[in-house]
Amino acid sequence: MADRAQTPYTGIAVAAPVTVDYCRYSNRSAHWFLARVLRRLLDESGIAKDEVDGLCVSSFQLMPDTAVGLTQHLGVSPRWLDHIPMGGACGVVALRRAARAVQCGDAEVVACLAGDTNHVDTFRKMLGSFSQYAQDAVYPYGSGGPNANFAFLTDHYMRAYGARREDFGKLCVAQRENALANPNALFKTPLTLDDYLNARVITAPLRLFDCVMPCAGGEGFLVTTAERAEALGLPHARVLATIERHNAWPDDPIQMRGGWAMDADSLYANAGKGPDDIDFLCTYDDYPVINALQLENLGFCNEGEAPAFIREHDFTWNGDFPLNPSGGQLSVGQAGAAGGYLGLVEAVRQLTGTAHGHQVADARIGLVSGFGMINYDRGLCSAAAVLSGGNGA
């Protein structure tokens, strides 16, 4: 089925990439982190709070509040409001929603916020209530959360395509190297392939460094008109094309491809770019196997060929295929829903030349992809965006 061509995102600026207050555990609430993000967005952009007329929020721990309640906490009166509960896909989806709101004049300055806290028992408490299917059909089996699901995917992927643990390890080691150059990353100890291979088993075949670490923190960006951004002197990126898809390939017995495999062609067609034009890639990387699926589904290699692709490339920020130059969630930490913003915020940073210490040289076109919400046996949300630097590239 051929989709209608996407109306181009004209005159849209994505600016002020901010990352705040990452820490392993926090006594604060999600509201605190979201406030910190908004404050930083205003500080970075020079925009006054009452000029923010659109607000887009993602957070797991905000409950029982939603974006609605948050407006009163923050003292803002937006004319456009969205709450996006899509986990790892929320960054790209927030961008698409906000960009269209600005483009159509429903809002002029949209603050996109994601943030979560992490107490010592936050993650455990969330597991059994994550979804009805998680409660009914996964948590009672001893593994709440995504560990077992990604263990199933990894086990199957290794058997199906001959991937080795060393292949996944190479991605994790490269991302750790990237994180060492990123001041926001929580992981500051170098990781060797031996460390990776010999770490303790968590959920076989997954070991410690295959699993993302929950933490607290916040991420955000602004979406506004190019005119406004230029008037404010804000470095910004542009949106070339975006996709999202939910519950893709429902009849696949196990998730060996995501929604990107349905929509990548239209993404590239609408962007007027192809995989070869991409200067860096930010994937959703809570476990390395999902990086492999994104490399395949986004057209960098064919299905089942990610192991060979991994062996051939250098994924550090100054390598030949920069992947998650921030270090990704695996080495920055997963701050709840902010994990779904991490790649996008990093991409804007790279495209505006502000990724100090780990700036990809000549980063003109970036691809960000998101993946979210392990509802039962698979992640349901996938999304991606092609962005360019402010001059259009």
Partner 1 sequence: MTEPLRRPKRKNPILRTRLPVVPPWTRSRVALGMTAAAARGSFELQRCSECGRIQYPPREMCSGCLSVDLSWSPVDRTGELISETELNHSHDLFFRERLPWRLGLVKLACGPTVVTHLHGDVPEPPCTVRVDARLDRAGRGVLIAFPDKEAPNMADDKQLREMTCDPKFRKVLITDGKSAVGQAMVRAVADAGASLIWVGHAEPWKQPPGFSELESIPEVTLVPLDLTDARAVREAGGSLGGRVDILINTAEAHRTHGVASRYGTDVARLEMDVNYFGLLRLAQEFGPAMQFRGADGQNSAVAWVNILSVFALSNFPPHGTYSASKAAAFSLTQCMRAEFKPNAIRVVNVFPGPVDDEWNQLIPPPKLAPERLAADVVAALKDGVEDVYPGAVAREWFSRYREDPKVLERELCE
* 358: Cα within 13 Å, side-chain hemisphere: 26
Which of 8, 139, 318, 364 lies at the binding interface for partner 1 (CB under 8 A)?
139
Q: Does 124 participate in binding partner 1 (rule CB under 8 A)?
A: yes
Q: Is 147 in the site for partner 1 (CB under 8 A)?
A: yes
Question: Mask 236-275, x = binds partner 1 (CB under 8 A)?
Answer: --------------x--xx---------------------
* 359 HSE (CA, 13 A, CB side): 12
- Whole-number minimum distance, CB 342 to partner 1, in Å? 24
Residue 275 carries which DSSP code?
G
Among residues 3, 7, 72, 140, the one that binds partner 1 under rule CB under 8 A = 140
Q: With binding defined as CB under 8 A, does residue 161 bind partner 1? A: no
Token duo for residue 52? 């923010």
Give the Cα separation of 366 and 302 in Å (integer). 20
- Residue in 23, 76, 127, 262 binding partner 1, rule: CB under 8 A: 127
- CB neighbours of residue 27 within 10 Å: 9
**What DSSP string describes 279-326?**
SEEE---SSHHHHHHHHHHTTSS-TT-HHHHHHH---STTSSS-BSTT
Query: 261 vs 7, 155, 302, 378, CA distance in Å?
Result: 21, 21, 11, 15
Token pair listed for 119: 């107490």
In angstroms, the CA 240 to CA 290 distance is 24
The one-character DSSP state at 125 is H
Nearest to 78 by CA among 19, 38, 117: 38
Q: Of 131 and 225, which has the nearer Cβ to partner 1?
A: 131
User: Cβ closer to partner 1: 127 or 232?
Assistant: 127
Please, what is the minimum distance in Å from the beta carbon of residue 202 to partner 1? 5
Q: What is the CA radius of gyration of the chain?
A: 19
Q: Does 63 interact with partner 1 (rule: CB under 8 A)?
A: no
- Tell the smallest beta-carbon distance from residue 368 to partner 1 (Å): 29
| Other C-beta atoms lying within 10 Å of the C-beta of residue 122 | 18
Chain residues 162-221 in contact with partner 1, contact rule CB under 8 A = 200-206
CB of 365 within 8 A of CB of 393?
Answer: yes
With respect to partner 1, which residue has the nearer C-beta, 75 or 250? Answer: 250
Exposure of 287 by Cβ count < 10 A (0-12 exposed, 13-18 middle, 19+ buried)? Answer: buried
How far apart (Å, rounded) are the C-alpha atoms in residues 393 and 391?
6
Which of 44, 51, 155, 166 touches partner 1 by CB under 8 A?
155
Looking at the Cβ atoms of 97 and 378, the one nearer to partner 1 is 378
Smallest separation, CB 139 to partner 1 (Å): 5
98 in Cβ contact with 223 (< 8 Å) = yes
Q: Is 374 helix (H, G, I), strand (E, B) or coil?
A: strand
| Segment lying near partner 1 (by CB under 8 A), choices 69-77, 91-99, 123-131, 235-243 | 123-131
- Shortest distance (Å) from residue 97 CB to partner 1: 26
- Site for partner 1 contains 287 (CB under 8 A): no
119 binds partner 1 (CB under 8 A): no
User: How far is the C-alpha of 153 from the C-alpha of 171, rounded, in Å?
Assistant: 17
Give the count of residues interacting with partner 1 (CB under 8 A): 37
Question: CB of 299: closest distance to partner 1 in angstroms?
Answer: 26
At 158, which helix (H) or strand (E)? helix 146-161
Question: Which C-beta is closer to partner 1: that of 234 or that of 381?
Answer: 381
- Residue 250 CB, nearest approach to partner 1 (Å): 8
Only one of the segments 108-116, 124-132, 223-231, 292-300 lies at the binding site for partner 1 (rule: CB under 8 A); that segment is: 124-132
| Residue 289 or 367 having the CB closest to partner 1 | 289
Q: Out of 66, 143, 318, 359, point to the residue binding partner 1 (CB under 8 A).
A: 143
Contact with partner 1 (CB under 8 A) among 43, 46, 133, 231: 133
Which spans of this chain sit near partner 1 (rule: CB under 8 A)? Answer: 123-124, 127-128, 132-133, 135-145, 147-148, 151-153, 155-156, 159, 200-206, 250, 253-254, 376-377
